[in-house]
Structure 1
Amino acid sequence: MSAPERIPPRSVTSAELLAEGELTVRGRIRDASNAALFCTVAHAGQEASCVYKPVAGERPLWDFPDGTLAGREVAAYEVSEATGWGLVPPTVLRDGPYGEGMCQLWIEATQDAELLALVDEEEPGPGWKAIGFAEVGQGRTALLVHADDERLRRMAVLDAVINNADRKGGHLLPAPDGRLYGIDHGVTFNAENKLRTLLWGWAGEPLPPEAVGVLKGLRDALGEGGSLALRLAALITPAEVAATRARVEALLASGRHPEPNGEWPAIPWPPV
């Protein structure tokens, strides 16, 4: 009798690894404003590095009184996945050594991607979009620009949908494989307009056809009983889900990238 065929172990997805794996804390990320722990997670013969942010380590925010930073981080991942653009690293809500928290795949960013720059010009050069003028010391100003990059433009659309109040340059992680990821989405989804970002280079310009198609898909998924609406309902408040749907509708109605409205600081501080 022949020996039974050995079935190789099933490869798990990054989300499954994060959700089901054994989480081991390796250290603390010191420059984070809330508790952020560098960890490894292991499951089914696979291991990866990740960031674990326990809810217990969150500082209360007067302008984001509802829900948790962790819930909003996971909600941002869910919207990113629904776009099909994959702009947010795999992120889950799970129990860990310090209680429930957000667990996100660690991304090793490449250092040679030039996405932001300061230039001594009045107008951006070819391949760049203007953000605004910034003080650079000794009474001098320089023009802050970002790359005219399709990946950044997709990120700008995502930020408009999730109402990101803190899109700093340091929250953009270009990966060695050419993909671009956004991280730190704890201050998102507010029912009031709080969009603060460096990615204003396309403000007022028509949305590209690709973005319009993605927004139409989000509108369907955010409708009553829609798959995305149901997933977000477990992470953010009903008012925030409704506001997300309204922002999608507003973007489709205008057909343009949003512009600063003057009621809220348009650029986060510090910008990088």
Structure 2
Amino acid sequence: MSEKNLIFEYCDQMVQKFEEVVKKPIRNNSSVYYTGVDLGTACVVLAVLDENYEPVAGAYRYADVVRDGMVVDYIGAVKLVRELKQEIEEKLNTELLYAAAAIPPGTDSLDGGAIKNVVQAAGFELTNLLDEPTAANALLKIENGAVVDVGGGTTGISVLKDGKVVYVVDEATGGTHFSLVVSGAYGMPFKEADKFKRDNKNHKEILPVLKPVVEKVASIINYNIKNYDVKEISLVGGTCCLTGIEEIIAKQTGVYTHKPKNPMFVTPLGIALSCTQDIIE
């Protein structure tokens, strides 16, 4: 098996383990737990790893407390993260102390520390705050390529060379735009269209409808990687759960495109892998 396939296998195995512990948490008396808090536009995910950085628990909830990477409902965001934290603590019979979080690339000055404040107000000690595609690469382990995180409102891109991030950008166009297209095409209210879009059973039907938006995402990728020798693209983020999205992007970019087992959970797991016990003041 090639080194590339082994790396992707590690990512997919971690995602599969996480999916299992979301349903059935593992109580293993770990000396410490590391939590990744992913405050997404469409979904908030908490991923918990033990002292060996193995998945032991997780929880997620669809919510509207963040928009395009910006916290728009601070009180609601704190309440939601606190509730998910308490839910997992009860299942593990322990207190979760340490957490890491992430923001869309290039938005740290715009965020104004809101995500950091949400995590701390929910009862965590924050130990790391990084950009989302870079966090995802903690799991993907790409040496030379691009991590493309298609979130609810934006597409974040990190270009890596020799394992180091050399370029990051975050641009409008994401799952919200996909839902708006579905809403218009089917005459559905936005929330209903968003739910319809997430259902795997509908993907084959809606892919032709969404193809122009996927091609727009591909054009954003093309524009931002044109000055770099990108050999592979890895897709993460809940929007990339759309069946067939990787094939359209591969065709439009001409670059080998890989999609993990469940792209929605790659970034929160990567955030958790970046969590330490060194508290950010």
Q: Give TM class, smaller chain.
A: under 0.3
TM-score by length of 1: 0.24
RCO comparison, higher one (Cα < 8 Å, 6+):
2
Q: Which has the higher helix share?
A: 2
